[in-house]
Structure 1
């Protein structure tokens, strides 16, 4: 899914008609954000980046599913997020709670990850790299390959999860 280039300026003090960034979500099912896919943001003059994961803390049930999966398969998660391919470009990001949620072991080896409300990773790309098309493509693919086990892990946790209808 490619995000709109034009902006809704009706209620904005910034009346520029276009977004200053190209943004795309690359997912196996297109528009839905689950199953999780890859995110690409190209912002000339600012930092472009690739990203992936569960972004957004508004989906409580999804967060609970990921937490439960990490609690049950923590060693697999730890192996992914501390692996050389992942740590070369990424760290686990996301909004966190102050404490491990009730029902989870505060002494769990992955307790810090259980505090998360969202789990995502992003890696920045310099403008000069974006401008050299062949090198840019190679770097994006290399970073997505490093991100794939993380994304696949989260998709296993979210298996059969349906995004709530609005």
Structure 2
């Protein structure tokens, strides 16, 4: 994926390291879980922004399992300061946000998903015209695909096309966080 990701943005990283790279660890964190199964049943690969050293940075995600396969784009569970910056950008640049999430290429492939607050976040009026988006705790789009694609020669190309279709969302989020895309 290094070539296709590099064509989308030179600031996204494809890191083939065994530890700390794009491939996510296979072990589950079972400390606070009733399910003590030690291993994940999926492959998770993240292509995050160079400015982020952790999974919650803007980037792309690839999820492969027997039950479901999907690609993701955006920011999942951003840290408090980043969450506030994204919400502030949505509040101030509503038109840009709407253009990003309503982009024809994005809407054709992706659905916005993730956790949201039940009430308006601190500092925002409950009657704000963008309140549903301001309540978001995740700013991610998910695009499902058939598991058979994983073994197809078209896999890398189709994955890259999906990531490319989230270009405006990624540009907005990086701009909100004051990092280059």
TM-score, scaled relative to structure 2: 0.74
Q: 1:80-99 residue pairs with structure 2 within 5 A?
A: 80-99=100-119
**Where do 5+ consecutive residues of structure 1 fail to align?**
161-166
Contact 1:35 1:155 in 2 (8 A): no
The separation in 2 between residues aligned to 1:97 and 1:26, in whole angstroms, is 27
Q: Which residue number in structure 1 is paired with residue 148 of structure 2?
A: 128
SS at match of 1:67: helix
SS at match of 2:174: helix
TM-score, scaled relative to structure 1: 0.80
Distance 1:137 1:152, change over 3 A: same
Distance 1:154 1:13, change over 3 A: same
The separation in 2 between residues aligned to 1:148 and 1:141, in whole angstroms, is 11
Distance 1:138 1:9, change over 3 A: same
Alignment root-mean-square deviation, CA: 2.4
Q: Which residue number in structure 1 is paired with residue 161 of structure 2?
A: 142
Give how far 1:40 is off: 0.9
Q: Which residue number in structure 2 is paired with residue 75 of structure 1?
A: 95
- Post-superposition Cα deviations, 1:77-102, rounded to whole Å, max 9, x if no partner, equal 10111111010111221211122224
Contact 1:27 1:36 in 2 (8 A): yes
The separation in 1 between residues aligned to 2:130 and 2:74, in whole angstroms, is 17
Q: Which residue number in structure 2 is paired with residue 39 of structure 1?
A: 61
Q: How many residues align?
A: 155
